Each structure stands twice: as C-alpha cells, then as structure tokens.
Amino acid sequence: MAMKDLTTGDETKQLIGFALPMLFGNIFQQFYNMVDSFVVGRFVGTSALAAVGTSFPIIFFMLALIMGVNMGSTVLISQFFGAKDWKKLDDVVSTSYIFLFAAGLIMTLVGLIAAPVILRLLAVPETIMPEATTYLRITFAGILATFGYNGVAALLRGLGDSKTPLYVLIFSTLVNVVLDLVFVMVFHWGVAGVAWATIISQGLSFIGALIVLNKRNPYLRLDIKKLHWDKQSFSQMLRIGLPTGLQQTLVSLGMMTLSRIVNEFGPQTMAAYTAASRIDSIASMPAMNLGAAITIFTGQNIGAGKPERIRRGHLSAIAVNSGISLAITLVILFFGRDLMGIFTDDPEVMGIGASYLVIVGIFYTVFGIMFINNGVMRGAGDVFIPMINTLLALWLVRIPAALLFTRVFHMGSDGIWWSIPAGWMVGMIFSTWYYRTGRWKNPKLLRRTQTMAAKADS
C-alpha cells in the first residue's frame, strides 16, 4: 500500500493526485444517500423521499462531533509521518481505534432511543413520522460500521493513501445499489429497505478496509492484543480535533435548524430540499476534497518544516477549485431542473429544487475558497479559527438570514436558499483575511521538526 509523501514534487500535481481518489471515494459514498433518495422518490413516493431527507441532518449531527475529533488523529498522523516519528504514529493510531469503537457504541444507543424525540423537535409532519423514525433507527443500528469505515479511511489518508478507501467504496456502493432495488422493488420494504441496504453496504466497506489494511500496512495494522490507550495522544487529538468536531456539530445543528424551517413549508418543499441537497452534495465535493487534501498537504509540510511549500500549495488549490467550480456552476444553471428529474416527476418538487440549485450553484467558487483556507489552518494545527469561522458564517449569518428572508421579507423557500451563499460569502472573507495574517503557522512544531531533521542529518 503506497503512502504518499507530499513534502516533495510539484504542488499542483501532488494535490490533484491526492484529492482525486478522495473525490471519487466521497462521490461513491454520497451515492448511498443518492440511491436511497432515487429509489424511494421513484418507487415509493414523495412522502418517503421527504422522510429520508429529514433524517440526514440528524445522522450528520450524531456523527459530527466524533468524526471531527477523529480528524485530530488524521492531522497528527500526517505530521508524525512527515517528521518520521514512528513511535508517536503508533500511539495515535491505537488510541484512535479505541476511541471510535467506544463512541460508536454510545451513539448507537443514543440514536435508537432519541430518534422520535429529535424528529418532533424538527417539526416533522405526523404523516411522515413513522417512515422517518423507521429509517433513522435502522441507520443508527449500523452506525458502528459507519464510524469504523470513516475512521480507517481517515487514518489511511493521514499517511497519504487515498486510493484504498476509493476501491473499497466502489465495491460497497455497487452492493448498496443492488440491495436498494431488491429490498424495495422485490421485498417491498419501503424506507426500511433502503436503510437496511445502506448499513449492510457500509458494514462491508468497513470489513473490506480492515482486511486490506491488516495485510498491507505496517503502521495501521489492527491488532486487538496490541491496542493501547495513550493519554498524551488523546490529549493532542482533542486539542486539534475537538474544535473541528465542535465546528462540525455547529454545522449539523445549522442543518437541523434549516431543516426545521424547510419542514414548515410542507412535504413538497421537504422532498425538493432532499433531492436538491443530494445534487448539491456532489457538486460541492471537488472543493471539499481539495480542502481535505490541503489539510494533509499542510500537515506533512509543517512536519517537514517547509512553510513556503504550503503557500504555493494553497494558491494551486484555489486555482484548481476556481476552474472546477465554474464548470459545475454552468452545468447547474443549464441542467438543474433535469437533474431534479432523476429523483422525482412531481412538477412542483422539481421547480422548487431547481430554484435551490440555481441560487446556491452560482457561489460554488466562494464555497471552495472558504474550505481551502480552513483546510490550511487545520493542517497547521490552528483549528480554533475554522470553528469561529463556521460559527460566524452559519449561526450569525445563514440562520438569521433564513428567518429574515422567509418570515419578514416573505420570500418563500427561496429565502432559505439565499441564506446559504450569504453564509459562504462571510466565511470566505473572514478565512481569507485570517490566512493572510499568517497567524495560523505553528512555529513550535516547525522548530521541533527542524531540530529533528538537523539531528538526523548530523
């Protein structure tokens, strides 16, 4: 299994080469939700599509804090790999495994018990409650597999291996497609069928990733007998990952708040939001994966003591993002309504969703710059500022704007859609300003790794 060293070579080629497998992997992972939405929208009905969609922000909320904290281990792994510190690398990996397993068990219990309460807090219509509750509970029953796969994939990426998660996901996504169709069209299980298909497929992806990892990688091999808890590693994971986890939690809470506002407009708007969000999630993937790639790139180059290389990588990522985002925006503008037709043939749902895609799609370049800026800060270990940026863009701009546009200016569902790029714009401006201050650099880590390199050369 190749571990990619991002501290040498052409920055643009390195970033693109590392981001592409992650991009394809995440697109395949999004197919879990897209296929669920396609199958229920086409073969069950609008209410089922709304039920699946309203469950997604809740699932993301439950995953956000834990996977955010685990992002701390990814940053540490990339830094220790860049510094060639194998002992600390082993400590972080082992501690991360134990943390994810314990957190997965806790989240399973919480999700199973709290599902109906959370749905009522989101003002889900009673006509949709039974299907939404069923989908949510089955999904939480398999959340340990979701934690497992995402945790293993994050560790692999920290070492520069973004291809193995892709190969595993391609297989499991194809399984998910087949199971979705069989459980819904043959067994007629409705939303329960797509939920079971999803967790079975994610379980297979976790098992597959573990098998490959145990056979090929000496640094991440899972040996239960050798697992050990390292307090210092966990403390470092929390220091770096907790702000990211809190940031993701703020994002998920924001999604839930927006979902509640959407739910007030009824099943058609809920279904449109579900379908359009699936398309939007794919469209925003290139920017998100460039942000993830620049995080690992920055971590390794901080560890290797190469800050100037980080600056060049940052400019390359923004240039690549701008080109890709422009192309995606053009596709959305010309084919938005046709894309909505993949999920539904309801004209009202298609119209509402097409409006969402046009309004949001114009601002994908802004979204990408914000993500890339935040990625550099995370990779350098300065993770507090991205959290503040999210708080500013989401809770001080997007949510108030959604309420203002819908309840004061009476813009209807379009008011919700316009609040999304409003938050992105503020987030991009703030993160760009902070990046240019240079305060995100980590001089302590730079001095330590430069000292290690000097000793190694002497």
Structural tokens at position 107:
């989240």
Between 282 and 34, residue with greater pLDDT: 282
Give pLDDT, residue 155.
74
Q: pLDDT tens-digit profile of 137-149? A: 999 998 888 888 8
Between 379 and 78, residue with greater pLDDT: 379
Average pLDDT, the chain: 86
Structural tokens at position 51:
């039920």
Between 441 and 453, residue with greater pLDDT: 441
Residue 212 reports pLDDT greater than 80: no
Beta strands in 249-289 (DSSP E): none
Give pLDDT, residue 444.
55
Instruction: Please say whether the dihedral angle defined by the alpha carbons of residues 237, 220, 24 and 314, taken in this order, is positive or negative.
Output: positive
CA 198 distance to own-chain centroid = 17
Residue 268 in any domain: the answer is yes
Burial of 226 (0-12, 13-18, 19+ CB in 10 A): exposed
Spatial CB neighbours of 200, under 8 Å, sequence gap ≥ 6: 142, 175, 176, 179
Give pLDDT, residue 229.
93
Q: pLDDT tens-digit profile of 41-65? A: 888 888 888 888 888 888 888 788 7
Give pLDDT, residue 354.
96
pLDDT band at 442 (very low <50, low <70, confident <90, very high): low
Closest CA to 171 of 19, 31, 285: 31
Q: pLDDT tens-digit profile of 151-191? A: 887 777 766 776 777 787 788 888 988 999 999 999 999 99
Quote the percentage of the chain above a pLDDT of 70: 92
Q: What is the DSSP letter of 304?
A: T
Give pLDDT, residue 348.
94
**Cβ atoms < 10 Å from Cβ of 281:** 17
Q: pLDDT tens-digit profile of 296-308? A: 899 888 878 888 8
Between 450 and 322, residue with greater pLDDT: 322
Closest CA to 175 of 148, 204, 195: 204
How many angstroms separate the Cα of 193 from the Cα of each of 49, 273, 323? 13, 22, 40
Give pLDDT, residue 316.
95
Residue 2 in any domain: the answer is no
Give pLDDT, residue 404.
97
Residue 5 in any domain: the answer is no
How many angstroms separate the Cα of 432 from the Cα of each of 154, 182, 248, 251, 376? 26, 48, 20, 20, 11
pLDDT band at 456 (very low <50, low <70, confident <90, very high): very low
Give pLDDT, residue 454.
45
Residue 1 reports pLDDT greater than 80: no
- What is the C-alpha to C-alpha distance for residues 385 and 345, in angstroms, rounded to an integer? 43
pLDDT band at 217 (very low <50, low <70, confident <90, very high): low
Closest CA to 415 of 425, 431, 403, 426: 403
Give pLDDT, residue 374.
93
Spatial CB neighbours of 59, under 8 Å, sequence gap ≥ 6: 136, 139, 140, 143
Residue 84 reports pLDDT greater than 80: no
Residue 51 in any domain: the answer is yes
Match 């590693």 to its residue by tokens: 233
Residue 4 in any domain: the answer is no
Q: Give the count of domains, the chain.
A: 1
Q: pLDDT tens-digit profile of 242-297? A: 877 877 787 888 888 988 999 999 889 999 998 999 899 899 999 999 998 999 89
Burial of 275 (0-12, 13-18, 19+ CB in 10 A): buried
Q: According to the 3-state scheme, what is the secondary structure of 72-90?
A: HHHHHHHHHHHHCCHHHHH
Q: Which structural domain, as residue segments, surrounds residue 217?
A: 11-453
Give pLDDT, residue 73.
83
